[in-house]
Amino acid sequence: MAAVLDGVRVLELGGELGDWCGKLLADMGADVVKVEPPGGDETRQYPPFFEDEPGVDRSLYFWHYNTNKKSVTLDIESSRGREIFRQLVARADVVIDSFSPGRLQGLGIGYEHLREIASELVMAAITPFGQKGPYCDYVATDLTALSFAGPVWSCGYDDHSMAPVRGGGNQGYHTACH
């Protein structure tokens, strides 16, 4: 039986914010290629590790968020890397961008440039505070997203002298991609 997204080709750029989105698409059958910087994605170094032994290919965190994906190492900061990326885009249906707003545009591979290569390309930009507006350049973590959205209000105790309780996992990142 064919999966829902069989035949859909996705390029995933960025980091943690896009990881969950790429995983969901891959789990539904899309052909997702994670574009990693030279040296690999930083989440390859995140604990916990298989058999508690750190190593670039032992991160359970990385494994969890990248099941069903392929990956390629590509230096999009270099002109050669950008040219290869453009070639990949020519065969893609979707690009997931979880870099800071304007980063890809500044490299000459933003949506306006890429749609010249693939006119029907869908670009999913996932940032903490959107692409425009007063907070678009703010850097945020999972906890920041939860705080702004409100769920942190319910994490803790009525006794305000006690520290708040943080939810497990990256719930803010997960809800951001929905």
Band (67; pLDDT cuts 50, 70, 90): very high
Has residue 63 got a pLDDT over 80?
Answer: yes
Query: In the chain, which residues fall in CATH 3.40.50.10540?
Result: 9-133
End-to-end, the C-alpha distance of the chain in Å comes to 26
**Residue 153 DSSP symbol:** G
Distance CA 6, CA 28 (A): 8
Question: Which runs of E-coded beta strand occur in the chain?
Answer: 9-13, 31-36, 69-73, 94-97, 122-125
Please answer whether residues 37 and 44 qualify as being in contact, where contact means their C-beta atoms are separated by less than 8 angstroms: no
How is domain 9-133 classified at the CATH fold level? Answer: Rossmann fold (3.40.50)
Please give the average per-residue pLDDT across 22-31, as a whole number.
97
pLDDT at 177: 47
Mean pLDDT of 143-163: 74
The number of residues making up the chain comes to 178
Which range is least confidently modeled, 31-35, 104-108, 150-154?
150-154
Query: At residue 58, does pLDDT exceed 90?
Result: yes
How many angstroms from the chain centroid is the CA of residue 42? 12
Contact 107, 97 (CB under 8 A): no
Residue 116 to residue 175: CA distance in whole angstroms = 31
Calculate mean pLDDT across residues 82-88.
98
Q: What are 56's two structure tokens? A: 């670039």
Overall pTM surpassing 0.85 (yes/no): yes
Task: Report whether 125 contacts 131 (CB < 8 A).
Answer: yes
Task: In whole angstroms, give the CA distance from residue 105 to residue 119.
Answer: 17
Q: Give the model's pLDDT for residue 24.
A: 95
Q: Is the pLDDT of residue 92 over 70?
A: yes
